[in-house]
Amino acid sequence: MTPEDLKTRAQREMAEQQKALQETGPYLTLGIQLVLTILIFVGAGYWLDHHFKTTPLWTAILSTFGAISSLTYFIVTVLRLQKNSETKPK
């Protein structure tokens, strides 16, 4: 193989890796967003419970709301990304 062949092969492999990352990139952050949203709502509920001395009430309410809202966002985003990938020309 000539150095030019190696160079074009390396460029082709790099382009394939870049394409793969572009396709999977939106999915990589979904798990982090899911967990962080729930933790933020649990933390807010915990703070409200200690501030108003209503120990399990606000933590339960806000953690439930955080879990439902983050799961809803997760499902909607995955469905939207799948729809976009199906309609995208190959």
In a domain, 23, yes or no: no
In a domain, 35, yes or no: yes
In a domain, 39, yes or no: yes
In a domain, 2, yes or no: no
pLDDT at 25: 85
In a domain, 72, yes or no: yes
Q: Return the ∠ at Cα 87 (arms to 70 and 77), rounded to 5°.
A: 5
pLDDT at 65: 98
What is the C-alpha separation between 7 and 26, in angstroms, rounded? 30
In a domain, 44, yes or no: yes
57: containing domain: 28-87
For the chain of 90 residues, list the mean pLDDT of each consecutive stretch of 10: 82 92 87 95 98 95 98 95 82
pLDDT at 90: 61
Number of domains in the chain: 1
